[in-house]
Structure 1
Amino acid sequence: MDEKTEELRDLFVDATGSETVTERQSESPGSLVDRDDDAVEERVAELITAMRERYDLDSGLEDTGLDDEAYERVVYGFFAGEDDGWIAADLGEELDDDPDGADSGIDARTVRDARLDLHLVAEADRDAPFEYAALKRLLAADRSVEAAAAELDVDPEVVREFVPVARADLASTRVNDRFRDEFRGLLTDADIEESLATDAREDGLREATEDIETDVSL
């Protein structure tokens, strides 16, 4: 059980005084507690191959200089909460250890580009000084960067910075977030997170209902 899962488990136990749900989740398929790491690694590699075939990532690889193993490292780092700079430094060290990998040139921007290739958009990526949803609508309508900038009343260079992010989100939406969700399901304990979120919603609803019943006079 990793640190994040332990924190979620402790939160549940503190809130309910019971470990029943957590124990049941720990036995469910796909849990990080008993997952087959080899199977996970194989599936992550398969997803990257599928994305390469669908989106022609070969052109992206030429831009980033990253091979499939490096893309896998980006996926694992993203879901481990590592920032782009940290992943870039780690990849750079790995390539520097390779006789053919001198002067890797991998930086945080390279890792960001690779993440977006894989539909892995962080919330911070969407933190634009304009309405991000409007940019997505404009790009979906095939508007140019200049036209979008004019409509958003923002400098084109500012808009251009967020275009790859918006396009990654749009590409993910077109496949119902298939790749993003499967990566997440493989590399996070999404079942426990959803269980805790559901419990919190139900507790809040129950408390609200109790308040209503108390205040109503018959």
Structure 2
Amino acid sequence: MDEKTEELRDLFLDVADDGTVTEPQEETPGSLTDEQPEDERLDDVIERMQERYAFETDWDDEVYRRLVRGFFDEESDADLAEELDVDEGSVIRARMDLHLLRESDTEFPFELRKLRQLRNAEEEVDLAEELEADEATLERAICVIETQDEARTANDRFRDEFEEIVTDGDLSTQLARDAREDGLEEATEGMENDLSM
């Protein structure tokens, strides 16, 4: 410590109420990597959904997690079914359980609004006849509108949570990669290279 610094320190100690010259350390804000692991966060959402709704599928959390990630990575149901060693119909049913609807899920030869109206009508009607659809198509359409209703009642909260978790994981990985690249760039800045081709 040079003479000037010593004089400043002594002056500070004279005017300060206590004898310390350092500020107490505060806890720093967390980072994305400090959070609960992604798998645990996904499991938490899945378990809450299972408690609230009657799932048609009965899969391990690991398989549901893979389905969620595949859905947001825009993998097809056929590809997911092949990887998970299940039939495509089971993948679709599991997506419905998790409120993960694709735009293509709502494409039918009739309007879903019409199906809703007929189902809510006071008089019982033959849906297949009214909509000119086979039973399998009707079952699929009913499954879709019931999923839409469940998701709407929950304000699409579960799908939003899944997306946030999966996106956070991607963001965390990207931030770590960017930090490594920036560090490498700074470390090598100004270095000469003697490469001869």
TM over 0.5: yes
Residues 1:177 and 2:170 are matched in the alignment:
no
Q: CA deviation at 1:159?
A: 1.7
How many residue pairs end up in the alignment? 140
Q: Deviations over 1:181-202 (max 9, x none)?
A: 111222247xxxxxxxxxxxxx
The residue identity in structure 1 corresponding to 2:61 is D
The Cα RMSD (Å) is 3.1
Q: Judge conservation of contact 2:96–2:147 (CA < 8 Å) in 1.
A: yes
Q: Matches of 1:144 and 1:42 in 2, distance apart?
A: 47
Q: Deviations over 1:146-189 (max 9, x none)?
A: 64334434344432232211111111111111111111222247
2:60 is aligned to 67
SS in 2 for 1:60: coil
Task: Within 5 Å, give how 1:46-195 maps onto structure 2.
Answer: 46-57=44-55, 60-61=57-58, 66-92=59-85, 106-139=86-119, 141=120, 147-188=126-167
Q: CA deviation at 1:143?
A: 8.2
SS in 2 for 1:115: helix
Structure 1 residues 134, 185: closer, same or farther in 2, change over 3 A?
farther
The residue identity in structure 2 corresponding to 1:172 is A
Structure 1 residues 79, 142: closer, same or farther in 2, change over 3 A?
farther
Structure 1 residues 184, 145: closer, same or farther in 2, change over 3 A?
farther
Select the structure of larger CA radius of gyration.
Answer: 2
Structure 2, unmatched stretches of 5+, are: 1-29, 169-197
Q: Judge conservation of contact 1:145–1:156 (CA < 8 Å) in 2.
A: no
Q: TM-score, normalization: structure 2? A: 0.60
Q: Matches of 1:37 and 1:108 in 2, distance apart?
A: 34
Q: Deviations over 1:45-91 (max 9, x none)?
A: 1000001111133x531xxxx22211111111100110111111111
Q: Deviations over 1:2-53 (max 9, x none)?
A: xxxxxxxxxxxxxxxxxxxxxxxxxxx99xxx66686322211100000111
